[in-house]
Amino acid sequence: MRPLLWKEMRDLRAWLLAGVALTGGLEILLLTQVFAGSFVSTWMEVLMPLTAAATAIGLGVGQVAGERHSRTLDFLRVRPVSPGVVVWSKFLAGSVVLAALLTGIVALSFADPNFMQDTGLRAIREQVSFAGLLAALLPRFWFLYALTLLFSVMVDRSLKAAALAAVVVITGVSTALAFADLAPFSGFVYWLPFFDGTGGLVEAAKNAWLSGMAGAVFSLGALLVTAGSAALLKRSPERYMGNLSLTVTAGAVIAAAVASANAAAHRFPELTPVGSWKLQPTGEWGSSNIVAEGSLVAVSHDHLVQFLDFTQPSRPRQIAEVTVPLWTSSSDWNADRVAMQDGAVFLVGHKKQLPADVFQIAIVKPGGLQDSIDLGSERPGDYVSAPVIHGAFLYIGVTRDRVCSLLTFDVPSRRQLDSVTIDRMRAPMPGIEEGSPPVRMLRRGAYLYISSPSYLTTIDLVNPQHPVVASQLPVRPKVSFLYGFPRPIAMQDKRLFEIRIFPESLTAYDLSDPAHPFTEAERTYHDGNGLVIGGDGRNLYRPWRDGLLEFHAQGNDLYGLRYLRGRASVSQLAFAGDSVYTLTAPAEHDQRWVQAYRLIQK
Amino acid sequence: MNRPAITVQALSKRFGRRLAVEDLTFEVPQGSVCGFLGRNGAGKSTAMRMMMNLLDPTAGSVTLLGLDSRRDHAALMRRVGYVSESPVLYEWMKVRELARFTAEFYPQWNRRRVDELFDRFAIDREQKVRHLSRGTQAQLALALALGGDPELLILDEPATGLDVLVRRDFLESIIQLIQQEGRTVLFSSHLLHEVERVADQVVILDRGRLVRSGSVEEFKRSTGLSLEESFVEAVGVKEQA
């Protein structure tokens, strides 16, 4: 084996030199700050897996196919050495070079002196060590390399082996992703060799057991595949796949992936809308939201509220369109916080006013603007949540000077009755733009649940004028910053669900004792359409493909129930009785739709 | 009687719809120099590549030195030397590196012989293989094939690429060198006068089929013709048939 190892290492020397030149050159450019700070983030999340995959494939493709094509394989075949030894020597040399190159490729993700300023990169780096990431990635790309070596044994051209490897990788990953969003395939995300929205790789890299288990399986797979390669070459020196069989195989793999994706898309029973309303394009939609009460639906965008009547869902009609005067256009802030009660919409927005704009809650009915509640002048970093209405009282979460408070208002008099401090956040990380720390609220019965950066707070509304804190559950942050991200919350049965980042995860709280929730489970969460989750109390809903996915949380996993197919991807949703109304994201020609679904068929 | 050095039994090879070698059966006695004759495309190289387990036979078997060429391949390669028609070597290696690389595979390596051959062929050991002429590369391949002191040497058109002046000396001297040690040589050629000068056995192929095999003397005695005339007659008879 020794002479073969020497030859293989010499053969792969160009790869080593290219790897050192690439990673070393990029590192020099980083240190001299030629690249902007976001380069390393792009490298870690996009270029690193691509480069690693290209390296694994590039190392393996020519090792046998290239020698077969150039006929140097014959030189080895007529020497007293087993073809198995030839394959294992190639595998060993390739593995050493792969490990060396991957070390450089991964190291580059940890080599930016300015990484602290990049929140996405920092979020990963605070959780994942260089050694942890390398240990997680190496077996994955080792397996890919072994697979490519197998393809190299099966064909007579490096290019053919590369094409086959590329087809298998792309189809394999896309198939895994198509199924990975729900049980029983949700564990797929831990096996991916790149950072996707689920944070599966982050979890795998920081969890020794997960990393070890995945690493052992991938490593065993690499060894078994190589044993297969050795057996194939030993059995016959000839190629196994001609052009026709190669094309057929690649076609079959692609067809299987397409069939899998199709099966993934149609694995749930479908529910179609009972009615739709086409919104006229406005030129710029700004931030928008939808609320519903019975068959009355209100869509807000910017300083405009449209009231729609879905009494006859197949023939909805617009009742009114109300503009809130003096409100700023919302291109620079979010006017998506809205609630509805007794036909009135409570919309949070900005009112132009000197010397400074003020936060305001506009109370809008189909007949026009009814009233407004001033929340004080706006300062940078302030956040105002969507309001929660309970009888004659309105509750709103406000973050100001990094203190989250619950404000109570008497709606008829528009007076503020109370203010309860629920979260005093620590000082922001220097150099990190955390945005406005959000507050999310959800009421069930006499309890109001508030998700703030540091706590899940339960508010007792027995005395609605003066709510009191019933309990607080500290949130253990995964990273030391990133307060500025929304955390949608939803309810299913006696469980409260909250999305957190980073990585995205869905935490379930048990509400058996509604005053004292406790953390029940946490799982990675993948929502390609954005971090939106809602619930009607029985099930959970989230945007999925061109519509909504109805799913049910059970244990530590999510099970899909129905696909609520629509016209376009959903940006917001609202529940009213047995109906759910969706507001689609702007699609072709800036077109948006409101769509109504009946969740319980009569 | 010694067992044959080469036993080919009902060997066939099909490439798609074309039958390149068909039901080939012959034996080559130990210690003999056997010419493997046939016109271009007769199936000589295909048959030799199957003997060396570089191609999978469609049917049939090959036994070299009493061992199955497929099952006992690695063990057999210690005792068999092979030079293909256009030997492909690792071009990025220097001659010295290639010699050392090749030597490492063999339990016994006759370095003195290889050095002698390098000197005889005037091969520069420090030269990269890619910088050698085609003829020198053929000589290098032959020298390396002899380094393992093979009991059986299979040469596929070994003189291809050599100029006329060195071809005669090259073939005769090498084959005599091997044969003096009681070893067996099977070499293919379409140059009959070369074969006649050094071979004591011949196997004649035409269109993948065996036309005739046996000793050169027997050929001449039975036909009263030279080997060249006998070959033309054999192939001609075949064509008429």
- Ordered domains of chain B (ranges, CATH): 1-77+151-157+184-241 (3.40.50.300), 80-149 (no CATH)
The pLDDT of residue A248 is 94
Cβ-proximal residues to B198 (8 Å cutoff; 6+ apart), any chain = B33, B35, B171, B172, B175, B176
Residues A25, A86 within the same domain: yes
Q: What is the CA radius of gyration of chain B?
A: 18
Beta bridge partners, A255, equal none
Cβ-proximal residues to A272 (8 Å cutoff; 6+ apart), any chain = A564, A565, A597
pLDDT-derived band at B52 (thresholds 50, 70, 90) equals: very high
pLDDT at B176 over 90: no
The two tokens of residue B3 are 């067992």
pLDDT-derived band at B31 (thresholds 50, 70, 90) equals: confident
- Report the percent of chain A where pLDDT is more than 90: 46
pLDDT-derived band at A116 (thresholds 50, 70, 90) equals: low
The pLDDT of residue B238 is 47
- Cβ distance A74 to B84 less than 8 Å, yes or no, reads yes
pLDDT at B241 over 50: no
pLDDT at A531 over 60: no
For residue A369, how many other CB atoms are within 10 A of its CB? Answer: 16
- Residue A160 located in a structural domain: yes
Cβ-proximal residues to A90 (8 Å cutoff; 6+ apart), any chain = A4, A8, A63, A64, A149
pLDDT-derived band at A30 (thresholds 50, 70, 90) equals: confident
Omega before residue A503 within 30° of 0, cis: yes
pLDDT at A287 over 90: no
Per-residue pLDDT of B88-106, as tens digits, reads 899 999 999 999 999 999 9
- Report the percent of chain B where pLDDT is more than 70: 92
CA distance A153 to A150: 5
Q: Which of A356, A378, A400 is the last residue of a domain?
A: A378
Quick one: DSSP state of residue A30? H
Q: What is the distance in angstroms between the Cα of B193 and the nearest Cα belonging to chain A?
A: 29
- Residue A460 located in a structural domain: no
- Residue A468 located in a structural domain: no
CA distance A368 to A354: 25
Comparing A447 with B174, which gets the higher pLDDT?
Answer: A447
The pLDDT of residue A264 is 84
Of the candidates A70, A71, A82, which has its C-beta nearest B74's C-beta? A82
For residue A486, how many other CB atoms are within 10 A of its CB? Answer: 20
Residues A210, A297 within the same domain: no
**Alpha helix locations (H) across A115-194?**
119-127, 130-154, 158-179
DSSP string, B15-31: ETTEEEEEEEEEEE-TT
The pLDDT of residue A266 is 85
The pLDDT of residue A503 is 63
Across A194-210, average pLDDT: 83
The two tokens of residue A407 are 């404000």
- Cβ distance A238 to B101 less than 8 Å, yes or no, reads no
Residue count of chain A, please give it: 602
Residues A102, A210 within the same domain: yes
Across B168-196, average pLDDT: 77
pLDDT-derived band at A306 (thresholds 50, 70, 90) equals: very high
- Please give the residue range of the domain that contains residue A354: 278-378
Collapse the DSSP code of B81 into the 3-class scheme (helix H, G, I; strand E, B; otherwise coil) and give the result.
strand
Of the candidates A70, A80, A236, which has its C-beta nearest B106's C-beta? A80
pLDDT at A281 over 70: yes
Phi/psi for B112 (5° steps) reads -65, -40
Least confident window among A262-266, A569-573, B148-152: A262-266
Query: Which residues of chain B make contact with A81, given a CB cutoff of 8 A?
Result: 74, 77, 105
Residues A224, A286 within the same domain: no
For residue B159, how many other CB atoms are within 10 A of its CB? Answer: 21
The pLDDT of residue A530 is 52
Per-residue pLDDT of B185-223, as tens digits, reads 998 887 777 788 788 888 988 888 998 888 888 877 877
The pLDDT of residue A388 is 94
Residues A232, A290 within the same domain: no
Residues A258, A286 within the same domain: no
The pLDDT of residue A188 is 81
Residues A303, A173 within the same domain: no
Q: Are A38 and A30 in contact (CB under 8 A)?
A: no
**Chain centroid, CA A49 distance in Å:** 18
Of the candidates B56, B100, B104, which has its C-beta nearest A236's C-beta? B56
The two tokens of residue B151 are 């009991």
CA distance A345 to A8: 72
Cβ-proximal residues to B230 (8 Å cutoff; 6+ apart), any chain = B212, B219, B220, B223
- Report the percent of chain A where pLDDT is more than 70: 92
Comparing A186 with A495, which gets the higher pLDDT?
Answer: A495
Cβ-proximal residues to A411 (8 Å cutoff; 6+ apart), any chain = A363, A389, A392, A393, A394
Residues A104, A157 within the same domain: yes
Across B103-113, average pLDDT: 91
Cβ-proximal residues to A256 (8 Å cutoff; 6+ apart), any chain = A171, A175
Quick one: DSSP state of residue A188? G
Cβ-proximal residues to A132 (8 Å cutoff; 6+ apart), any chain = A205, A206, A211
Q: Are A347 and A300 in contact (CB under 8 A)?
A: yes
The answer for A 508-527 residues in CB contact with B (under 8 A) is none
The answer for A 38-97 residues in CB contact with B (under 8 A) is 70-72, 74-75, 77-82
Which pairs with CB-CB distance under 8 Å and at least 24 residues apart come from A563-567?
Answer: A563/A268, A563/A269, A563/A270, A563/A271, A564/A270, A564/A271, A564/A272, A564/A273, A564/A597, A565/A270, A565/A271, A565/A272, A565/A273, A566/A273, A566/A593, A566/A595, A567/A276, A567/A593, A567/A595
Walk across the sheet containing A518-524 and list its strands.
Answer: A489-492, A495-500, A505-510, A518-524
Per-residue pLDDT of A429-446, as tens digits, reads 777 777 677 788 999 999
CA distance A57 to A217: 19
Least confident window among A85-89, A149-153, A197-201, B7-11: A197-201
Average pLDDT, chain A: 86
Query: Which residues of chain A make contact with B46, given a CB cutoff of 8 A?
Result: none
| Contact B106/A at CB under 8 A | yes
The pLDDT of residue A335 is 57
Q: What is the distance in angstroms between the Cα of B161 and the nearest Cα belonging to chain A?
A: 18
Listed residue (A449, A502, A504, A451) closest to A478, CA to CA: A502
The pLDDT of residue B158 is 76
- Cβ distance B101 to A7 less than 8 Å, yes or no, reads yes
Least confident window among A96-110, A174-188, A305-319, A578-592: A174-188
Residues A163, A64 within the same domain: yes
Least confident window among A253-257, A536-540, A566-570: A536-540
pLDDT at B74 over 90: no
Cβ-proximal residues to A216 (8 Å cutoff; 6+ apart), any chain = A139
pLDDT-derived band at A529 (thresholds 50, 70, 90) equals: very low
B188, HSE (Cβ side, Cα atoms, 13 Å): 25
Average pLDDT, chain B: 85
Q: How many CB pairs under 8 A join A and B?
A: 54
Across B47-65, average pLDDT: 93
pLDDT at B239 over 50: no
pLDDT at B237 over 60: no
The pLDDT of residue A482 is 64
Q: Are A56 and A144 in contact (CB under 8 A)?
A: yes
Cβ-proximal residues to A122 (8 Å cutoff; 6+ apart), any chain = A115, A116, A432, A479, A481
Comparing A543 with A419, which gets the higher pLDDT?
Answer: A419
The residue among A2, A79, A233 with the most chain B CBs within 10 A of its CB, best to mutate, is A79
- Residue A398 located in a structural domain: no
Comparing A253 with A185, which gets the higher pLDDT?
Answer: A253
User: Residue A585: what residue type?
Assistant: A
Of the candidates A3, A75, A81, which has its C-beta nearest B74's C-beta? A81
For residue B182, how many other CB atoms are within 10 A of its CB? Answer: 9
Q: Are A400 and A382 in contact (CB under 8 A)?
A: yes
Query: Which residues of chain A make contact with B100, given a CB cutoff of 8 A?
Result: 3
Beta bridge partners, A270, equal A563
Residues A94, A164 within the same domain: yes
Widest CA span in chain A: 97
The pLDDT of residue A396 is 93
Q: Dihedral sign, CA of A543, A546, A550, A551?
A: negative
Across A230-248, average pLDDT: 88
Collapse the DSSP code of A2 into the 3-class scheme (helix H, G, I; strand E, B; otherwise coil) and give the result.
helix
Residues A285, A218 within the same domain: no
Least confident window among A325-334, A440-449, A507-516, B105-114: A325-334
pLDDT at B43 over 50: yes
Across A33-45, average pLDDT: 75
DSSP string, B153-218: EEEESTTTT--HHHHHHHHHHHHHHHHHTT-EEEEEES-HHHHHHH-SEEEEEETTEEEEEEEHHH
- Residue A510 located in a structural domain: no
- Residue A223 located in a structural domain: yes
Q: Which of A237, A263, A289 is the last residue of a domain?
A: A263
- Residue A417 located in a structural domain: no
pTM (global) more than 0.90: no
Quick one: DSSP state of residue A364? E
pLDDT-derived band at B134 (thresholds 50, 70, 90) equals: confident
Q: Are B231 and B192 in contact (CB under 8 A)?
A: yes
**Alpha helix locations (H) across A236-293?**
243-265
- Cβ distance A80 to B105 less than 8 Å, yes or no, reads yes
Q: What is the distance in angstroms between the Cα of B229 and the nearest Cα belonging to chain A?
A: 35
CA distances from A33 to A109, A122, A189 (A): 15, 18, 34
- Cβ distance A77 to B54 less than 8 Å, yes or no, reads yes
- Residue A465 located in a structural domain: no
**Chain centroid, CA A277 distance in Å:** 29
The pLDDT of residue B236 is 65
Give how many domains chain A has, as a whole number.
2
CA distance A540 to A451: 18
Residues A191, A227 within the same domain: yes
Comparing A37 with A46, which gets the higher pLDDT?
Answer: A46
The pLDDT of residue A511 is 93
- Cβ distance B54 to A236 less than 8 Å, yes or no, reads no
**Alpha helix locations (H) across A1-47?**
2-11, 13-31, 38-42
- Cβ distance A71 to B88 less than 8 Å, yes or no, reads yes
Q: What is the distance in angstroms between the Cα of B105 and the nearest Cα belonging to chain A?
A: 6
